[in-house]
A and B are shown apart, each in its own frame.
Chain A
């Protein structure tokens, strides 16, 4: 994923998306919540001008009239008071109290959080210890204790609920403030002579406002519930004043005879809180950057395969272990299509090591992941081509078949061994699991095999290492574990995705030597993905150079290294430092690779190529055979010896 241009193209994708308000309205539940909420609020606000009975006038004669009685659409309570009128007036009180508590908590909590986060040091630890102390109490219990001290009453309940909610705001806001106060724009403001107060309220506050709004929208419903709860217990609103909670509390005593007296106010609390929460979730979804960027979508077990049209019945190449033909892999994000891989052909023979080389974003990792369906879906999909493992087309077999082949016939070694090993399982657990996924073995047999594997990858004291966790090993040792895991089932094909990039140079050469030895001993075919021609020269028999999702040059390693034909290949080779030639120019290639959702016509490298002519920028440039197993996708290839571009 990190290796595709798709990642760097995100800002562009966002431009094509609907705005915040549009997103909010697209969410039907949130809209529904907003409509109900506005309706309730309007009715509550209009209470004084509505033709309602006086909510506090008692009429013992009319007591406990059922719902739909004449003059009393929702009936009357045990004192003969009109429930509809009391409900509307009670909603008014509950809403006012809930909102007030939210604003009080948000104000003081945010203030504490801002000050603690910005001041840091002793102020911060003093404030946060205090907050921790308050949070050490169960929430409602603390509210009860405060009401116990202040005495029952609606205003006291309001204070209690606001107070116990202050820590939520303080904690959230403090975290964000802490991060922001280390940022450049705050330093800039400080240097420009602004006072801490100015910085806090003019520079930092606007940035934390979305978080305050999210926290408010997620807590306001809760606060209405809690104040209603205190009133229900008789500790909030005192008669004759009534909020929804106290109505429910009074009605409880006559639950069995007249359930409507308590059920109706409860329904109102529910409708109110539910609509607030629906709307609050909508706000959160719109403001939360993680949800917007799709960072929380779950990839499914296997890349979606949506090949358009019947292919012309491709046949696997004779003698190939792995034969990839015309592979196209795309990412569909917010209406844009990123063609990460745009028609790749690769052939891998037994015991052969093929290097797949290119800059970040050229699509080489996506190519590798596509083979066994490991590209995350959504947003990835395989849009065309075939991958033959022997006679089987990997894009046509069942999910269960692909699972059987993964790790057993085609094994992977990934780039960063710290993130690719599970942090919570021991090395032994992960190894034996890989073995037993494909071989019927008892636990002790698998353990013995795991020790052999660790021995094979030259890990000292293998038996003891079974019990360590990945974070307890060095980077090189971790990668050896990953390689051992890939070898667990004598796979025919090993796909190594930059296996040495995260390691330092001496460890890198050890790992390369190890892989080379294993390849020779076991005749494993290796697809080796790298951006480093130095690594290529050490291990690969043949090389395929990728650019913008296509192969631009392929051939035997020595031939390409000594006489690159494609200007891009030549540039890449020039990027490798050579020992003993310190005066050599190390040129970065000017410009950036093109975005794969908007590839230029003609050669994708033309905009960065010093040799580009007018005809390079139009039509499709085909791969042309250059003899000796070499091919190049270039109209004006470099002649042998013409190394400098």
Chain B
């Protein structure tokens, strides 16, 4: 098993390198003179020249990449123009806030998605199934940013149960309870779509598994139906749902862009949106890179968990 994990980790290295190349190339593809593009057409020639030198843009593309990569290894992603602080510091700080939000959502959508999927498969074509199917459709059809606004209107403005914005605890302004209080609405909003996707796939996986010969064997052994479903069928279904949860991690982190904007959560999504509109491209670059790398690791974890569950993959 340890050998397998090591093998997977090594296999992830070229992917991570590929990410750095793509992220680098995206930034290099900016049409026109990058310095002017960054600083805007009203920039003074001195500023443009200085920025070009700062960015090493007078060198060839491969040279630029390796210099950039070298800096990256030393933890230097450059400085943000708008915030005047190292990109890495800002990105890591923001990313931890996003992890809290996205992690909570991922846990919520896994629990609810799996449960709803099982219930729906077990009661196939019954009322539970119909209701779950409809809820899933509503869930994946609802714009999350709109749902966020509705929840703010309902729970923050009218009922005054939860705050509409912000997350104070991370800056030392509150305790865990305060954090959960601020987390409730955004985490719920963020998990809706992924819950739907996971529920849907769990249902299909369960239906497929329940037809297998080994489920018939479990029944022929005289096991109770709940044991047949929750132990025998669910374990097999989980093997095919785990990679989906890994992929959903990416959607949840991506969806955080909207939710953080709506709830003014100080995460990397709202940072990126702001950085794009202020053309702070180094900040965009750093943010994208860190999130993409985290996503690769998420999928790696999903892979390993899947292998732990299924001995045939070892």
Q: Residues on A close to B: CB < 8 A? A: 29, 132-134, 136-142, 144-150, 152, 221-222, 225, 228-229, 232-235, 245, 248, 252, 255-256, 259, 262-263, 266-267, 269-270, 273-274, 276-278, 281, 295-299, 301, 372, 374, 376, 403-408, 411-412, 414, 416, 419-425, 433-434, 437-438, 469, 471-472, 482, 485
**B57, CB-defined interface residue at 8 Å:** no
Please indicate the chain B residues that have their CB under 8 angstroms from the CB of A482 in the complex.
Answer: 217
Question: Across the interface, do A424 and B239 meet the contact criterion of CB distance under 8 Å?
Answer: yes
Question: Across the interface, do B281 and A139 meet the contact criterion of CB distance under 8 Å?
Answer: no
Please indicate the chain B residues that have their CB under 8 angstroms from the CB of A412 in the complex.
Answer: 217, 220
Selected contact of A437 from candidates B223, B275, B277, CB within 8 Å: B223
Among B146, B235, B257, find the residue whose CB has the most chain A CB atoms closer than 10 A. Answer: B146
Which 3 A-B residue pairings sit nearest by Cβ, starting from the closest?
A: A140-B254, A266-B146, A407-B222
Bound state CA distance, A376 and B29, in angstroms? 59
**B128, CB-defined interface residue at 8 Å:** no
Indicate whether A485 sits within 8 Å of B121 (C-beta atoms), given known contacts A136-B15, A137-B292, A255-B152.
Answer: no
Question: Across the interface, do A301 and B145 meet the contact criterion of CB distance under 8 Å?
Answer: no
Q: Which residue of B lies closest to A139 (CB)?
A: B254
Selected contact of B150 from candidates A263, A274, A407, A408, CB within 8 Å: A263
Q: Which residue of A lies closest to B272 (CB)?
A: A144
Q: Which residue of B lies closest to A485 (CB)?
A: B221
Please indicate the chain B residues that have their CB under 8 angstroms from the CB of A414 in the complex.
Answer: 213, 216-217, 220
Inter-chain pairs besides A298-B206, A422-B218, A482-B217, 4 sampled, C-beta below 8 Å: A137-B292, A145-B23, A421-B214, A425-B235
Q: Residues on B close to A: CB < 8 A? A: 15, 18-19, 22-23, 26-27, 29-31, 121-122, 124, 134, 137-138, 140-146, 149-150, 152-153, 157, 204, 206-208, 210-214, 216-225, 228, 232, 235-236, 239, 249-251, 253-255, 257-258, 261-262, 272-273, 275-277, 281, 284, 288, 291-292, 295-296, 299, 309-312
Indicate whether A225 sits within 8 Å of B143 (C-beta atoms), given known contacts A296-B204, A420-B216.
Answer: yes
Q: Which residue of B lies closest to A302 (CB)?
A: B219
- What are some 6 contacts across the A-B interface (CB < 8 A)? A144-B272, A148-B26, A262-B146, A298-B207, A416-B213, A420-B217
Selected contact of A137 from candidates B19, B31, B146, CB within 8 Å: B19
Please indicate the chain B residues that have their CB under 8 angstroms from the CB of A138 in the complex.
Answer: 249-251, 253-254, 291-292, 295
Bound state CA distance, A276 and B141, in angstroms? 9
Bound state CA distance, A469 and B232, in angstroms? 14
Question: Across the interface, do B27 and A149 meet the contact criterion of CB distance under 8 Å?
Answer: yes
Please indicate the chain A residues that have their CB under 8 angstroms from the CB of B26 in the complex.
Answer: 145-146, 148-149
Q: How many residue pairs bridge A and B at CB < 8 Å? A: 227
Please indicate the chain B residues that have their CB under 8 angstroms from the CB of A276 in the complex.
Answer: 141
Question: Across the interface, do B211 and A152 meet the contact criterion of CB distance under 8 Å?
Answer: no
Please indicate the chain A residues that have their CB under 8 angstroms from the CB of B262 in the complex.
Answer: 252
Question: Across the interface, do B312 and A423 meet the contact criterion of CB distance under 8 Å?
Answer: yes
Please indicate the chain A residues that have their CB under 8 angstroms from the CB of B218 in the complex.
Answer: 422
Please indicate the chain A residues that have their CB under 8 angstroms from the CB of B214 in the complex.
Answer: 419-423
From residue B97, how far is it (CB to closest CB) to chain A in Å?
A: 16
Please indicate the chain A residues that have their CB under 8 angstroms from the CB of B22 in the complex.
Answer: 133-134, 137
Question: Across the interface, do B15 and A221 meet the contact criterion of CB distance under 8 Å?
Answer: no
Indicate whether A298 sits within 8 Å of B292 (C-beta atoms), given known contacts A149-B27, A270-B146, A471-B311.
Answer: no
Question: Across the interface, do B220 and A281 meet the contact criterion of CB distance under 8 Å?
Answer: no
Question: Across the interface, do A301 and B219 meet the contact criterion of CB distance under 8 Å?
Answer: yes
Please indicate the chain A residues that have their CB under 8 angstroms from the CB of B18 in the complex.
Answer: 133, 136
Q: Which residue of A lies closest to B18 (CB)?
A: A133
Please indicate the chain B residues that have their CB under 8 angstroms from the CB of A425 in the complex.
Answer: 232, 235
Bound state CA distance, A232 and B149, in angstroms? 12
Please indicate the chain A residues that have their CB under 8 angstroms from the CB of B122 in the complex.
Answer: 298
Question: Across the interface, do B273 and A235 meet the contact criterion of CB distance under 8 Å?
Answer: yes
